Structure 1
Amino acid sequence: MFDIAKIRNDFPILKREVNGKPLVYFDNAATSQTPQQVIDVIVDYYQNYNANIHRGVHSLSQEATDAYEQARQKIQEHFNIAKSHEVIFTSGTTDAINLVANGFAAFIKQGDEVLVSALEHHSNIVPWQMLCEKTGAQLKVIPMGTDGQLKMDIFHELLSDKTRLVFCNHVSNALGTINPIKEIIDAAHKVGAAVLIDGAQAAPHIKADVQELDVDFYTVSAHKMCGPTGVGILYGKEDWLNKLPPYQGGGEMIAEVTFEETTYADLPHKFEAGTPNIAGGIAFGAALDYMNAVGFGAIASYENDLLEYATKKLLEIDGLKIYGPLEGKASVISFNIQGIHPYDIGTILDKLGIAVRTGHHCAQPIMDFYQIPGTVRASFSFYNTKEEIDVLVEGVKKARMMLQ
């Protein structure tokens, strides 16, 4: 049973006020909120067994190591990853993408082609531009249509024996579009290309099975999934991770060091240089425990109800336009009101205690495609309610009345 009152009670921040109004938090696509159960895990680490991992023989170090590696196993199980050493802890999705991009610089040469979708976050565009600048490879773009969907017919035409890498987000952070990643992965593999899927926006809503997808790399950030900031993971197939050179050098990622030569540690430590965000990794595991206890099927169903309700209510407002697909997407609505800058709407909503995101959402090519400066983005999570959506709708109406 989906008990929304109990769930909301788990999130202490939902009890606060902003500008004298009860907080309505609709910026979940940027960062989700954190339940008390996960906060308690972070506090417990620092209060009771704060120590560095993998290196100490003393009890605190062993306890911290066990908790950290248990979190890795929880992540492995959640995403159906074949081997725990295919889970690389990173500081987040951006870090994970840069790890892969830097590694592939050793394999890409002039004349090779890499494909990226038009729906990407800047973090899944800029690293590949940098890779192409270093190697002489050519970056090609899978175009989008006005409906916010990728033009898959053109994608298939772009694939060739020159294609080495394909990059695509699972869910667009700006529009909520759910991309046909299985079709993309299978088609890319047929021409011998590797595929990285940016799962940052999908992971809070969709429980990805990386073995079923047969994806080469999949990235996730904990702070999108009720976890802390500054931690995430890169999943990579063992064969690829063994081939890629290390992204960073330092402690933990070495087997032996002399001034003449260094040999690297086995996976996953080869890519985990230095002291990691230990509390963050442990808390990521706790966040997965929490969300799985709620149930991803229940989360998806509830969030879809919120999405349908909000879409219907917002479209009743004169002059309001929603960008991207109206159906079959994640719980994100990007909209504008004709003649009003999105920043102005967001500012008024904040005065009413409503947190939304305004701007280009680190997806400027999408905004350029629509020839707009940005959008107002309301993104919903499983702890939101229809009553909060009603507050949003009334706030947008008030902003429209004040600004037109």
Structure 2
Amino acid sequence: MSFDVAAIREQFPILKRRIDGNPLIYLDNAATTQKPQCVIDALVDYYSTCNSNVHRGAHRLADEATGRFEAARDLVKDFINAPKREEVIWTTGTTEGINIVANGLSQLLSTGDEVIATGMEHHANLVTWQQACKVAGAILKIVPVTEDGELDQAAYDALLNERTKFVAFTHVSNALGTVNPIKEMTAKAKVFGAWVLVDGAQGAAHRKVDVQDIGCDFYVFSGHKIYAPMGVGVLWGRESLLATWPVWRTGGEMISTVTLQEATWNVLPYRFEAGTPNVGDVIAMGEAIRWLMALDHDGLEAHEKALLDRATQLAEAFEGLTIIGNAKEKIGVLSFVMDHGHPADIGFLLDRQGIAVRTGDHCAQPLMARFNVPGTARASFSVYNTLEEVDALFVALKKVRSMLA
């Protein structure tokens, strides 16, 4: 598929909506992306033609559903260059994937062990490690964030030591757009033998992911941020770890044998997939990944960079507006505050002009405290946004400023 923004937009039916008479300008992609027609069709087709539970049915519908379900796992394997399909675990999203790892980690840590997270994490990649450390009596240490919105690498180096057992950091900051040097940070942790988890919720839609090249032990991401439905996601982990990692949920599918007193666990990937899976959304996620992989990825990155560059240029020239997060390497996220107006008011007035942005603390309260702001307004760009929409955002912000001044 060649990179043609107009042709891409035609595949997203929601972009034809109007809000209060205005064309929808959707700039809330870091919260969730819209869905192309092929993804919607895949979901509808499953429920229309082969709705069934997977793996155990002795009939045609179950066979067809199982085939599509497991084919989606193969697509994820290729998407992130996982060594084995058995390392791909279906979850409800990034949060559940992190919790699966954290629950096991709390049983593997010892008193005095150290875990490292960072000051720019989404709460899902911070609170989980807080709780794991409390259960185990371990110590949580935090990598600080610089004034530009980057992780302080010198401080990270100083935190690593022989007591470091686990390190967790985000691929891309959801609140700032900062792209972290995850390969280099992983390599540093591995010097001390630490396990590494990367939160890829914001990275997977914007950067190529190669877990073998990164060198991490776990990589997690959500479907709804890569053009798939909500309620489905992926935990990838090394087979050598997942094969013995403590299970989190128990029930059907994840067991091998059960007596009235004991149970043994199934092989990978099923030992972490208890209960009836979200079959339709998994199949639709596979279609989203197929769609995304067919794009010209270099063209995608160039287009999104052009959107961010235009937005940054206009923001820097906009009186009374301050960008929060000026890292050297960012994806298409512009997080900002204005002298006159709370972020919530900015978001409301933009919505009345048909422009959807996110406002608040973005589930990153410690990061907001670091920059001494209650929250920000956040415009986040995706493959289907245009330079004209960026320009329209700032025309609308001028109206907002005049109304709030």
Shorter-normalised TM-score: what interval?
A: over 0.9
Quote the offset at 1:327 in angstroms: 4.0
Distance (whole Å) between structure 1 residues aligned to residue 360 and residue 370 of structure 2: 14
Count of aligned positions: 404
Contact residue 150 and residue 327 of structure 2 kept, 8 A? no
- 1:288 paired with 2:296, answer no
In 2: Cα distance, 1:213 partner to 1:7 partner: 30
1:218 match: 219
CA-atom RMSD, angstroms?
0.8
Distance 1:31 1:181 in 2: 23
Residue in 2 aligned with 1:160? 161
* TM-aligned CA deviation for residue 170 of structure 1: 0.3
Superposition pairs of residues 90-129 of structure 1, within 5 angstroms: 90-129=91-130
The aligned residue for residue 44 of structure 1 is 45
The answer for the alignment partner of 2:323 in structure 1 is 322
- d(CA) in 2 for partners of 1:285, 1:296: 18
The separation in 1 between residues aligned to 2:116 and 2:250, in whole angstroms, is 29
Alignment partners' CA distance in 2, 1:326 and 1:158: 22
Equivalent residue letter for 1:259: L
2:232 match: 231
Q: CA deviation at 1:192?
A: 1.0
Q: Which runs of 5+ in 1 are unaligned?
A: none
Residue number in structure 2 paired with 1:25: 26
Q: Given that residues 218 and 235 in structure 2 are in contact (C-alpha distance below 8 angstroms), is that contact kept between their aligned partners in structure 1?
A: yes
Indicate the residue corresponding to 1:258 in structure 2. Answer: 259
C-alpha distance in 2, partners of 1:175/1:141? 18
Distance in 1 separating the partners of 2:328 and 2:102: 33
How far residue 326 of structure 1 moved from its aligned partner, in angstroms, is 5.4
Amino acid at match of 2:40: I
The letter of the residue matching 2:92 is S
For 2:246 and 2:133, the matched residues in 1 are separated by 18
CA distance in 2, matches of 1:214, 1:332: 26
- The list of structure 1 runs, each at least 4 consecutive aligned residues, that deviate by more than 2 angstroms after superposition, is none
Query: Structure 1 vs Structure 2: percent identity of aligned residues?
Result: 50
Residue 195 (structure 1) shift: 0.3
Counterpart residue identity of residue 19, structure 2: V
**Distance in structure 2 (CA, Å) of the matches to 1:391 and 1:259:** 65
Q: Which residue of 1 aligns with 2:395?
A: 394
Match of 1:105, SS state, is helix
* Aligned match of 2:313: 312
Matches within 5 A, 1:227-376: 227-325=228-326, 327-376=328-377
Distance 1:324 1:395 in 2: 22
Deviates further, 35-44 or 388-397: 388-397
C-alpha separation in 1, matches of 2:188 and 2:238: 18
Equivalent position amino acid for 1:42 in 2: L
Distance 2:217 2:272 in 1: 16
Give CA deviations for 1:180-211 in whole Å, capped at 9, x if unaligned: 11111011111111000000000110111001
Q: Indicate the SS of the match to 1:139.
A: strand
CA–CA distance in structure 2, aligned partners of residues 211 and 319 of structure 1: 45
Amino acid corresponding to residue 330 of structure 1 in structure 2: I
Counterparts of 2:214 and 2:316, CA distance in 1: 35
- Distance in 1 between residues matched to 2:114 and 2:271, nearest whole Å: 28
Give the whole-Å Cα distance in 2 for the aligned partners of 1:235 and 1:324. 29
